[in-house]
Amino acid sequence: ICFLLSHSEPSSGELWGMHLMPPSILVDCLLPNGMILTLECLREATLITVKHELFKEARKYPLHNLLQEESSYIFVSVTQEAEREEFYDETRRLCDLRLFQAFLKVIEPVGNREEKILNREIG
């Protein structure tokens, strides 16, 4: 479950330079309409849960009408391997993403979503 803040265990147990990941984390989320919202999320939260809470909170702010349906978007972020990764599997938990920082950008995926998922699984 995620909560909006007015100001926002990986398998190895490490996250962003912390030796032990706390039970809840602050996640900054950049929406396509330019809004940045900070959510307090349980480390076990799935991306679909985070996205649902994010879009629910976004409806309370100006420019929410510029957003499409939440299913039109995916999250992207930078991993601890310093690679930009698009997260198509929304059943993944925050604690397993190995993010460099707790920052998720919401984007519209470019190209065929199913093909990208298959390529990711193969490669």
pLDDT recorded at residue 8: 36
From residue 113, alpha-carbon distances to 60, 99, 117 in Å are 29, 22, 6
Residue-wise pLDDT tens digits, 8-27: 344 444 555 555 678 999 99
- Given a cut of 90, whether residue 113 has pLDDT beyond it is no
Q: Tell me, which fold does domain 2-122 have in CATH?
A: Ubiquitin-like (UB roll) (3.10.20)
> Of 62, 64, 65, 26, which is closest to residue 43 (Cα–Cα)?
26
